[in-house]
Chains A and B, each alone.
Chain A
C-alpha cells in the first residue's frame, strides 16, 4: 500500500527565509505526487504535481518540489517566505490506476515577521 510521511507537523520560519517542507513516500510503482495547501476554513488548493516528467516541478506562488527516486522524497521549497504562505500543507500520492489520493498528516507552516 502507498503511504506518505511528512516530517514535522509544524514548521516555523521567518519572513524572507527559505521554506522547506519534507515529504517521503512509499510506493511499489512510480507514483504521481502532489502538494496541496489548505487555508483556514477552506478546501485544498493544488500547488504542484509530479507525473513522471521533469523531476523538478514548479508550482504556484513560487513553490517548487524535486522528485528524488533514490530517496523516495518529494520535498517542497520556496526561496523566500511570505506572510501569506502561512497555512497547512499536504503531500499526497496517488495510485496510477485510481483517482484516489493518500495524504500525509500535514505540516502547519507559520511565518514569523
Chain B
C-alpha cells in the first residue's frame, strides 16, 4: 500500500506571495492532519480534516487554511507569506478514530525569501 505523498517536496517563495501544498493520504484513510516543523518551535499542529470537514484546529493565524476533497486528498494554503513561515510542513493520515496512529508523509520544505 502506498504511503502518504506530499507535493511539492521543495518550494521557494517570496514574502507576500501565497502557496498551496498538497497531500494524498494512504488509501482508505479519511483523516488528514497538517503539522509545521521549525527549529525554534518544533512540531506544531495546524489542523485536521475528516470527511471534508475541519475537525480540529491549532493556534495559527487565519493566513493558514486548508481543505479536504471527497477523495480525502487535502491541500493547505498559506497567504501573504512571511519569513517565519519557512518550515517543513508535514501531512499525516489515519483512519480517523481517535486512538489510531497517524502516518506521516515526507513533508514539503518551504523557504520564504
Instruction: Give the contact-size bracket for chain A.
Output: 20 to 34
| Interface pair A99/B4, CB less than 8 Å apart | no
How far, in Å, is B48 (CB) from chain A's closest CB?
5
Interface residues as binary, B68-107 with A (CB distance below 8 Å gives 1, 0 otherwise): 0000000000000000000000101010101111111111
Chain A proximity of B87: nearest CB distance (Å): 13
Q: Which residue of B lies closest to A90 (CB)?
A: B43
Q: What's the dominant secondary structure at chain B's contact region?
A: strand
Contact of A45 with B56 in the complex, beta carbons under 8 Å? no
Known: A43-B107, A44-B90, A90-B43. A101 touches B102 (CB 8 A): yes
Identity of the chain B residue whose Cβ is nearest the Cβ of A52 in the assembled complex? B99
Provided the pairs A99-B56, A100-B56, A105-B42 are in contact, do residues A46 and B48 lie with their beta carbons within 8 angstroms? no
User: Are B104 and A32 in contact (CB-based, < 8 A)?
Assistant: no
Whether B94 pairs with A99 at a CB distance below 8 angstroms is yes
Q: A43-B4, A43-B90, A46-B101 are known contacts. Are A99 and B106 too (CB-CB below 8 A)?
A: no
Which residues of chain A are near B58, meaning CB under 8 Å? 100
- B residues engaging A (CB < 8 A)? 4, 31, 33, 35, 42-45, 48, 50, 55-56, 58, 90, 92, 94, 96, 98-107
